[in-house]
Amino acid sequence: MSGQQHCYPYPRPALTVDAIIVAQTAPPQLLLIQRKHNPFAGSWALPGGFVDSGEGLEAAAARELQEETSVDPSTVLLTQVGAFGEPGRDPRGWTITVAFAALVPSTQLGVKAADDAQAAEWFPADRLPALAFDHKLVVRTALRHLATQPDVAKQPALVGALWAAAERLDGPWQQ
C-alpha cells in the first residue's frame, strides 16, 4: 500500500500524543513543559505533540517526551491511558490526543527543556499550575489510572496521594 493515496468524504482530525510522567516522591511530582509557541505560549502543558505520518502512537509519545524534556524514553515505561477528543480542546482545530503515562522512581531524569518547550519542570501533583488545552482532564484521568495499577496498589501512601491529586483536578477542564 506504499505510495497509495486515499480520499474520503469525511473530515479527519489531527492526531497528537501526550506524556504524563509522575515521580514516586512524597508528594508525587508531575513533569510539565512551558510552551514556547502559540497556542497557549507561556502556559504549562504536558510534553506532547503531533504524530508524524507512519509513526506509531507510543513511538510518537516517546519522541515528544525526549524532544521537549530531554528525558531518555528508554528509561520510562509508557502505558496508554486514554484518548481525548472533546470539541474545543485545541484552538487549532479538531484534534484527538492519545495519552501515555509512566511512574518513575524519582525526578532525577536529566530534565532539560528543548525543542518547542521554553521550560521543563516538576510540580507537586496536588498543586499544579493552570494547564493548557484539556490537560487538566488528561492528568486527572492518568492519575486515577496509575493509582489502580497492581504495583502501585502495594504502596498505600502513593495510591492515596495519586487519588487526592486527581480529586483536586475535578471540575471542568475549560478555563
Residue-wise pLDDT tens digits, 93-140: 999 999 999 999 999 999 999 999 999 999 999 999 999 999 999 999
Structural domain contains residue 86: yes
Burial class of residue 150, CB neighbours in 10 A (0-12, 13-18, 19+):
exposed
Structural domain contains residue 5: no
pLDDT at 100: 98
pLDDT at 1: 46
Verdict on whether the full-model pTM lies above 0.85: yes
CA 153-61-85 angle, 5° bins: 85
Give me the residues of the chain with pLDDT under 70, please: 1-4, 175
Which residues have CB under 8 Å from 24's CB, separation 6+?
103, 104, 105, 106, 155, 158
pLDDT at 6: 74
How far apart are the C-alpha atoms of 164 and 171, rounded to whole Å? 14
Burial class of residue 7, CB neighbours in 10 A (0-12, 13-18, 19+):
exposed
Structural domain contains residue 100: yes
What range does the domain containing 126 cover?
A: 14-169
pLDDT at 129: 97
Structural domain contains residue 9: no
Domain count, the chain: 1
pLDDT at 174: 77
Cα-based distances in Å from 152 to 3, 53, 102, 159, 161:
45, 35, 12, 6, 11
How far apart are the C-alpha atoms of 95 and 88, rounded to whole Å? 9
Structural domain contains residue 7: no
Structural domain contains residue 155: yes
Structural domain contains residue 83: yes
The CATH code of the domain that includes 73 is 3.90.79.10
Structural domain contains residue 58: yes
